[in-house]
């Protein structure tokens, strides 16, 4: 049965919450929705951050559910709708088997890896994780958390806000990471949508020389020259920019700079393969490459600076993004989720339907990437139907062991 869900928006938090609770009550007589909810998900915009304690206390009192997870964001989303920079909250009431989930935070430890629940399933299989973006060494903390679940897979995002951001893990928290660990008997499917595509002539390259975030050489050649070739600005037989000082080279670079500026306005990125360990790659769908900004170029030295610190031996490709690519990639992950549900139905000889979903998208997506407010969520609704969904617009997205940017992480319980 589906999870009950609702959203509310009003400058007064109590009015918005009453709207949510009224909508939830309307599901009570519908037998296609779960009545025995025992885990609540709540996402609220930063306008309500100062009232989060009262909102959570009211939710616990009015629903009778003691366990809650969630976070604040500049925007929140629900089935087919989004609310950005306006007071709103979204609520999902999940029904799970007893012992199949454990809320965790700095004050509550997750189950120990290797333990099993009463049903005999791994008690720590995967986890929904929320985090404070100001947390020191956050990427390393996520890798450590991924090692505490047997799948090695996390999903979620970083709280966001124009002031203090917060998390919910049975209480309102600030700083660090928190969330809920799910046992192996909780069936879910999660996918990451990056919304980028390779440059016209791009291929994957091996980092052969790097200094911190400065990529000096790719495949043993100047990184800047490789970028020009991948962008179709210079043929692979072309001479390196800055290799001589004649007026022709200066004129050539003037044209190149104009083309690079045009590409930069669209968005210039690298997709870095972070590598794999402990069989993680075998458990994850498709590539889990990390998309990071190209932040500076040095034509004279042939250096490309990126918002990451790649290692020598890693592979990467240059890419860009636009609305069309974002739409196609979001449609792709929805299709993969539908295919997964179909395969599960065939394997079990039973109907498999989505119960609920959590969607975490980047602040740079939404109307910025999809053209108008609500289109991103509307696209998911058109692809998956009226699946009960809640989520937020985050300051970074979590998928697998990695911290992403400009992505959407869609997780469906079934």
Could you report the per-residue pLDDT of 83-141, keeping only the tens digit for each? 999 999 999 999 999 999 999 999 899 999 999 999 999 999 999 999 999 999 999 99
Q: What is the mean pLDDT of the chain?
A: 90
Task: Read off the pLDDT band of 369 (50, 70, 90).
Answer: confident
Could you report the per-residue pLDDT of 35-59, keeping only the tens digit for each? 899 999 999 999 999 999 999 999 9
User: Exposed, middle or buried by CB within 10 Å (0-12, 13-18, 19+), for 279?
Assistant: exposed
According to DSSP, the residues that pair with 130 across neighbouring strands are: 157, 178
Residue 86: what are its φ and ψ, rounded to 5°?
-150, 155
The whole-number average pLDDT for the span 198-224 is 95
Task: Give dist(CA 132, CA 139) in Å, integer.
Answer: 12
CB of 130 within 8 A of CB of 71? yes
pLDDT at 224 over 80: yes
CB of 387 within 8 A of CB of 353? no
Task: Read off the pLDDT band of 283 (50, 70, 90).
Answer: very low
Q: What percent of the chain has pLDDT over 90?
A: 74
Closest CA to 8 of 37, 33, 34, 45: 45
Q: Is the dihedral of CA 339, 376, 163, 16 positive or negative?
A: negative
pLDDT value of position 325: 83
Task: Give dist(CA 84, CA 46) in Å, integer.
Answer: 10
Would you give the DSSP letter of residue 105?
A: B
The whole-number average pLDDT for the span 15-24 is 97
Task: Read off the pLDDT band of 236 (50, 70, 90).
Answer: low
CB of 188 within 8 A of CB of 412? yes
């Amino acid at each position: 049965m589906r999870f009950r869900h609702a959203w509310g928006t009003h400058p007064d938090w109590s009015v918005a919450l009453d709207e949510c609770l009224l909508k939830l009550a309307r599901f009570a007589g519908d037998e296609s929705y779960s009545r025995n909810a025992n885990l609540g998900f709540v996402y609220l915009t930063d306008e309500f951050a100062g009232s989060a304690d009262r909102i959570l206390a009211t939710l616990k009192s009015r629903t009778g559910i003691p366990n809650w997870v969630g976070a604040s964001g500049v925007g929140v989303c629900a089935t087919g709708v989004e609310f950005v920079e306006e007071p709103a909250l979204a609520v999902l009431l999940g029904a799970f088997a007893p012992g199949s989930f454990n809320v965790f935070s700095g004050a509550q430890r997750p189950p120990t890896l290797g333990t099993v629940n009463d049903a005999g399933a791994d008690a720590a299989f995967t986890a929904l994780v929320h985090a404070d973006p100001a947390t020191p060494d956050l990427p390393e903390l996520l890798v450590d958390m991924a090692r505490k679940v047997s799948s090695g897979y996390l999903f979620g995002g970083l709280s966001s806000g124009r002031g203090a951001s917060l998390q919910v893990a049975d209480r309102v928290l600030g700083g660090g990471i928190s969330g809920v660990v799910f046992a192996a008997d909780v069936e879910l499917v999660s996918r990451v949508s990056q919304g980028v595509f390779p440059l016209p002539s791009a291929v994957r390259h091996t980092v052969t020389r790097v200094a911190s975030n400065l990529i000096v050489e790719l495949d043993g050649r100047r990184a800047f020259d490789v970028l020009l070739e991948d962008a179709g600005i210079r043929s692979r037989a072309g001479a390196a920019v800055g290799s001589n000082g004649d007026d022709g080279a200066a004129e050539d670079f003037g044209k190149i700079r104009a083309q690079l500026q045009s590409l930069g306005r669209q968005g210039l990125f690298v997709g870095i393969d972070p590598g794999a360990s402990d069989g993680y790659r075998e458990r994850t769908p498709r590539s889990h490459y990390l998309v990071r900004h190209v932040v500076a170029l040095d034509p004279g030295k042939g250096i490309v600076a990126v918002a990451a610190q790649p290692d020598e031996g890693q592979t990467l490709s240059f890419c860009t993004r636009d609305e069309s690519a974002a739409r196609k990639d979001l449609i792709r992950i929805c299709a993969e989720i539908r295919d997964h549900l179909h395969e599960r139905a065939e394997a079990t000889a039973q109907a498999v339907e989505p119960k609920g979903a959590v969607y975490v998208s980047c602040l740079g997506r939404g109307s910025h990437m999809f053209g108008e407010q609500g289109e991103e969520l509307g696209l998911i609704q058109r692809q998956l139907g009226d699946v009960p969904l809640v989520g937020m617009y985050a300051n970074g997205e979590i998928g697998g062991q990695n911290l992403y940017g400009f992505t959407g992480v869609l997780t469906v319980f079934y």
